[in-house]
Amino acid sequence: MGSVNAGSKIAAFLGRYSPEIEAQLREARRMLRSSFPRGYELVFDNYNALVFAVSPTERTADAFVSVAGYPRWVTLFFLRGAELKDPRGLLQGTGKQVRGIRLTAAIRVDTPAVKALVQQAASVHGAAFKVAPKLRTIVKTVLDEQRPRRPEAKRRSVTGR
C-alpha cells in the first residue's frame, strides 16, 4: 500500500477506537517512533487489531517490536520476546517466540523497565538501523473484514438479569 496518504489512513484507523484506547495507542506509537528515528514503521490494520511495528527494513520479517490496539487494551509485543532477559517479569506469554506487555497507566512504553526491554530487543538490529533511512511509515495491510474496534455493550438477557 505504501506511504501515500499514510497519515490520513492511520487517523481513520485510530478513529474507530474508543477515545481512551485511541489516546493510549497514539501515545504508545509516539513513544516508539521517538525511540527509532531511522527505519520503518509498518502498519497492519488486521482482523483482531491495529498494529504498528518497528523494523530496520521494509520487510515484515525484520520487525521486532510492535504496539497493537484491541477494543479494551493496548499491548506492546516483542516478536522475539522469549529470548529477552526480563528481570522485572513484565513479559507475558508462553509461546516459543512472542511475548507482550499489556500497557496501563502505570506500565507505559516510556517506563524505564519497558524502555530497557525495547532497547534490548533493538540491540541486535543496530547495524541495520545505522544504514536505514529516516523513519518512514508504510501501511502494509488493511483487511476488509475486522472485529469491532470498540467494546461491544454488554447484552442483557431476555429476563433482564
Per residue in 38-78, pLDDT (tens digit) is 999 999 999 999 999 999 999 999 999 999 999 999 999 99
| 151 located within any domain | no
pLDDT at 4 over 70: no
pLDDT at 122: 97
- Per the structure, how many domains does the chain have? 1
**Residue 52 near residue 67, CB atoms below 8 Å:** yes
Question: What is the pairing mode between strands 65-69 and 74-78?
Answer: antiparallel
Strands (E), 21-153: 40-45, 50-55, 65-69, 74-78, 99-103, 136-142
State the average pLDDT for the chain: 91
| 156 located within any domain | no
Task: Let me know if 58 is exposed, middle or buried by CB neighbors in 10 A (0-12, 13-18, 19+).
Answer: middle
Cell of 73: 487494551
Confidence of residue 33 (pLDDT cuts 50, 70, 90): very high
| 1 located within any domain | no
DSSP 3-state assignment of 125? helix
pLDDT at 154: 55
Residue 37: domain span: 6-141
Q: Could you read off the pLDDT of 69-108 as tens digits, one per residue?
A: 999 999 999 999 999 999 999 999 999 999 999 999 889 9
pLDDT at 141: 86
pLDDT at 2: 47
| 60 located within any domain | yes
| 135 located within any domain | yes
